[in-house]
Amino acid sequence: MNRDILEGRWKQLKGQARQKWGELTDDDIEAVEGRHEELVGRIQARYGIAREEAQREVNAWIEGK
């Protein structure tokens, strides 16, 4: 799945994102609205990890969908 599909399918995928990244709040999930960079930034902030690591996690998750 590419980034465009992430945006288009966000309503379907946000529950799976909540499961994967339990530290994200409902407000975080709603604010992301399927935007890749927003998701990376929220994960980076909530988990206190480097942007590159958050980017790898999100990309791996997207590829698995």
The label of the residue with tokens 């480097």 reads 50
Residue 25 per-residue DSSP state = -
Q: What is the reported pLDDT for 8?
A: 86
Per-residue pLDDT of the chain (65 residues; tens, 9 = 90+): 677 778 889 988 999 999 999 999 999 999 999 999 999 999 999 999 999 999 999 999 988 87
Place of tokens 């969908």: 65
pLDDT of residue 6: 84
Residue 23 is predicted with a pLDDT of 97
How confident is the model at residue 1, as a pLDDT? 60
DSSP for residue 24: S
**The pLDDT of residue 64:** 85
What superfamily in CATH does domain 3-63 come from? YjbJ (1.10.1470.10)
- Rounded to an integer, what distance in angstroms lies between the CA atom of residue 33 and that of residue 5? 12
C-alpha 38: how far from chain center: 8
